[in-house]
Chains A and B, each alone.
Chain A
Amino acid sequence: MNQNPSHTEKELLIGVAAGNEEAFSRLVNLYRNKVFSHALTFVKSYEEAEEITQDIFVKVWANRHRLPEVKDFKNYLFILGRNHLVSAIRKKVMDTISNNDEEDIPGTLLLPDTQVEYKETYRHLINGLDRLPPQQKAVFTLSRMENLSHAEIGERLGISKRTVKFHLVQALNFLREYLRYPGLLLIVWLF
């Protein structure tokens, strides 16, 4: 894909190459969420997605002299993070196998057996589920509670498999962010 970077973006890149911090800040604002969302989807770890995002933008700054020659900045961003992503994914898959009793946490948490053990987390998860947009919540619930396949969920809700996948990823990414806060186990008592 060879999008032409917009005029403004090209200007930004030249600005960054010249060491202009404001330009860099604007560039980060344009792409930060794209880079992070993508990384979180594939590495499934909030911490690692942060690391990858940080790494990519730090590389952009460190190699800013190259920016004037970059034809497709978005693709350049991808390439800067590619190896990191691939190795993080492989590590994640291997780790999951070595802890083969631990499924995806939200999935496990919905099993009644583990509810006691994870009572706090479970309650927090439910709170998180309630904050999902209705469609995401419906897809997530059907997938995890009723254990339906993507095709079955699509049929049930009248949406495509691809949309099911999108909603599931969004729901998981939201929960990964929501559950990561210490607020997970944070209680306020009023005296």
Chain B
Amino acid sequence: MNEQAFKELLDQYITGRLSHENQSTFAMLLEKPEYQAMLEAELERSFMDDEFEGTETAERKARLNTLIFEKIAVKPQGPVHRVHFLRRSWVKITAAAAILLLMGSVAYYSWLKPVKKETVASLGPAANILPGGNKATLTLGDGSVIVLDSAANGAIAQQGNSQIKKTKNGELIYAQTQNSGGPLTTHHSPLAFNTLATPRGGQYQLVLPDGSKVWLNAVSSITYPASFTGTERRVEITGEAYFEVTHNKKMPFVVTANGTNVTVLGTHFNVNAYAYENARRVTLLEGSVKVSQSAIGPASKREQSANNAERSVVLRPGEQAVMAVGHSPLTIDHSPDLEQAVAWKNGKFSFGETADIHSVMNQVADWYNVNVVYKGATNKHISGTISRNVNLGLLLQLLKTTGVADFNVEGKTVEVIMN
């Protein structure tokens, strides 16, 4: 192939007009030193001629400066333009709610990770704040504690008839070892309660002795017997957990969360009982659950009898039981955003249409293990979906694009500046 023909291929490549056939040819040629030399010559010529120099946007200028100056640890001189990321066209819009719809794919946005340094709000340090991961502690029946992120994989403990194994995927498995037969087993109490707890920035998965699966969100815990005996399978949680309960008609599965009982036979559901949320929510994905509320607070007898029907509800798949804080009755949301309710389990943050900045930042604080302070007030709402795998800088950058708030990160503290 002569030089002219090669240049033609190169032109097709840069203008996105390379046919499949020519692509293979081009790839083959690029493996050969003589064509690499031709490519280099063309690269040099076009660079020296500024052949493709385009217009530089202010946004790009700021980003590139940040990338460069961050690396060499000196500050760019002169005024750094404060550029609102994609906000120009909306500045005049006083949106009551900004909807952030990011459709998951982190890979697609991963190039956003370097964060602008700005004179007013700085997100710089946030790029180093990594999202949470598989971290938890396990408290055994005798009170001993195992830190799971540092424990080696494999069998880590024996509790009664259950052998506890840790897998590399951040999962704890209780395997029944019936007939283990050793003399030691008789010394174990059949009701050794274990507690799996996640810190801020932690999540963990658990397979209970009956095969039921539990996903534990950050700052959450679950207490359960090392093996289920008796007439029901009872566990207690704080925070948020998603359950896939194995079917067992004879032994209903009961989840207690801060005064709310969820009784199930076998099903998939999510319980959100974070203390900072304005309501506890049980979302049912599959099967059937009964949600009941223990009496909370001194309601009058009349009220209690009036609300009796609402103290217990049966959910159908796709429904959500909502227990607002205070003395509110138990209500059913017939069309909750299911994807949103279990987004965390699928590695995403999802904020519903009613999520205010505080609710968003509570989740952020738990997952990134940061403190949040607020400056100003806003009644704007944010909704949308963002991966939980991104660093804090990128997350804040994306939140910033809603125009609801600006962020300033210092150390482990995120200042939210309402716009």
Interface positions of A (Cβ within 8 A of B)? 1, 21-22, 24-26, 28, 32-34, 36-38, 41-42, 44, 46-47, 50, 53-54, 57-58, 61-62, 74-75, 77-78, 82, 85-86, 89-90, 93-94, 96-97, 100, 103-104, 106-107, 120, 143, 149-150, 165-166, 168-170, 172-174, 177, 180-183, 185-191
Question: Using a CB-CB cutoff of 8 Å, which residues 80-96 of chain B contact chain A?
Answer: 85-86, 90, 93, 95-96
Chain B residues near A36 (CB-CB < 8 A)? 56, 60, 64
The residue of chain A having its C-beta at the shortest distance from the C-beta of B48 within the complex is A1
Contact stretch, chosen from B17-25, B242-250, B364-372 = B17-25
Q: Binary interface profile of B, 72-106, with partner A (CB < 8 Å = 1, else 0)?
A: 10111110000001100010010111111111000
Chain A residues near B40 (CB-CB < 8 A)? 82, 86
Is the C-beta of B181 less than 8 angstroms from some C-beta in chain A? Answer: no
- Beyond A53-B67, A82-B44, 7 additional pairs, beta carbon < 8 A: A47-B110, A61-B72, A103-B16, A182-B86, A183-B401, A185-B103, A188-B95
Chain B residues near A32 (CB-CB < 8 A)? 56, 61, 64-65, 68
Contact stretch, chosen from B7-15, B166-174, B219-227 = B7-15
Size band of the interface chain B makes with A: 35 or more
Is the C-beta of B54 less than 8 angstroms from some C-beta in chain A? Answer: yes
Q: With A54-B67, A86-B43, A177-B60 given, is the CB distance from A25 to B93 under 8 Å? A: no
The smallest beta-carbon distance between A59 and chain B, in angstroms, is 10
- In the bound complex, how far is the Cα of B7 from the Cα of A150, in angstroms? 14
- In the bound complex, how far is the Cα of B74 from the Cα of A58, in angstroms? 11
Chain B residues near A150 (CB-CB < 8 A)? 11, 15, 17
- In the bound complex, how far is the Cα of B30 from the Cα of A136, in angstroms? 30
Residue in A62, A170, A181 whose CB lies within 8 Å of B86:
A181
Point out which of B30, B57, B95 has the most chain A C-beta atoms below 10 A from its C-beta.
B30
Whether the Cβ atoms of B64 and A25 lie closer than 8 Å is no
Whether the Cβ atoms of A170 and B68 lie closer than 8 Å is no
- In the bound complex, how far is the Cα of B110 from the Cα of A183, in angstroms? 14
Chain B residues near A96 (CB-CB < 8 A)? 18, 23
Residue in B23, B54, B71 whose CB lies within 8 Å of A173:
B54
The residue of chain B having its C-beta at the shortest distance from the C-beta of A32 within the complex is B64
- In the bound complex, how far is the Cα of B76 from the Cα of A166, in angstroms? 32
Whether the Cβ atoms of A90 and B30 lie closer than 8 Å is yes
- In the bound complex, how far is the Cα of B52 from the Cα of A174, in angstroms? 12
